[in-house]
Amino acid sequence: MGSETPTQIPVFDFTSDTQTLKPGTDAWNNMSRDVCAALARFGCFQVAYDGVPARLREDMFEAMERVFDLPDETKRRNTSDKPYFGYNGRNEMVPMYESLGAEETSEIEKAKAFTQLLWPEGNDKFCETLNCMSKKLLELNQMIMKMVFDGFGVDIPDALISDNSVLRVMKYDAPTGDSALVLPPHTDKSSLTILCQQEGVQGLEVLVDGHEWISLPPIPGCFVILAAEVLKAWSNGRIPAVKHRVVLSPGKERYSFGLFMLPKWDVAVKVVEELIDKAHPRRYKAFDYMDYLRYMEAHLLKMVGSNKDMVDVFAGV
């Protein structure tokens, strides 16, 4: 019997008053080990990060309210040739969820094009907020990726350093009556996902050890980092893609946004060779990311409830 200590998902301090963010320092090396260990254990962690000013975060949530207030037909103009990259939601799978996504909004021209789609008459404030937030989160991602591979004692291969991403804004309706599962359990098909939750509205949960759902509360000034399927493949399965879901209490609607990092389009997703050894034989074949997305599109519904990750089914050896 005995009392069990509740599982705690780590919260790391990346704020500028620490030495942590200077590569090569002891603080950086220690943090790299901790980051790598947390991802290997939980596939996620939270991070306090002041590289994104509080004001920018507030502007982003305000901007998102304006986005979701737009008429349905305007939001549904957000289409993409890639599966699940554009408008998604209000369907059988996710009736209480709605989201829009745009690629490479860290590039001003792409941020402008997305803004133009939603506000043909222009909305400079939205465009600047989106562009600025995307750039800041991209920087955070690059730092974390470097830490992960430093933690493994491996130089991050150039092929893994990618600026490709989708910035996604999300809204969940308030449940009436009981709590509701508003986003079903899934693993992300990105490499790493950086999420920002609305303050004061709890909802995100991660699965630990295959059976324990742990809530990740929104912490002011913090971001949630989720390891996703491409990082699982790069790391030869040493970092799991964390399964997560969103459960909401009655009466509370919720907003969140995230930067979903993607690999380079013209380079195969391959296991980092240094992470293959006797104890860790190769787990994945090299694959084309677009082929994987197409496979995911064709098989997603069939795999609901499966405890296998898409990447293992698609590229496992």
Ligand X SMILES: O=C(O)CCC(=O)C(=O)O
Residues that bind Fe ion (CB under 5 A): 188
Least distance (Å) from ligand X to the CB of residue 49? Answer: 17
Q: Under DSSP, is residue 6 helix (H, G, I), strand (E, B) or coil?
A: coil
182 binds, among ligand X, Fe ion, none (CB under 5 to 8 A by kind): none
State the residue number with the nearest CB to Fe ion.
188
Nearest CB to Fe ion, comparing residues 144 and 275: 144
Least distance (Å) from ligand X to the CB of residue 264? Answer: 21
Least distance (Å) from Fe ion to the CB of residue 186? Answer: 6
Residues near ligand X, by CB under 6 A: 168, 170, 183, 188, 195, 197, 204, 244, 246, 256
Closest CA to 37 of 153, 211, 207, 140: 153
β-pairing, 88-89 with 97-103? antiparallel
Distance of CA 309 to the CA centre of its chain: 16
DSSP 159: G
Report which residue type is found at 33. R
| Cα distance between the two ends of the chain | 40
Nearest CB to Fe ion, comparing residues 59 and 188: 188
Phi, psi of 249 (to 5 degrees): -80, 155
β-pairing, 11-13 with 44-48? parallel
Nearest CB to Fe ion, comparing residues 150 and 188: 188
Least distance (Å) from ligand X to the CB of residue 29? Answer: 31
67 binds, among ligand X, Fe ion, none (CB under 5 to 8 A by kind): none
Return d(Cα 45, Cα 207) in angstroms, integer: 12
Nearest CB to ligand X, comparing residues 89 and 151: 89
State the residue number with the nearest CB to ligand X.
256
Nearest CB to Fe ion, comparing residues 188 and 309: 188
Report which residue type is found at 246. V
Least distance (Å) from ligand X to the CB of residue 256? Answer: 4
Which H or E element spans position 13? Answer: strand 11-13
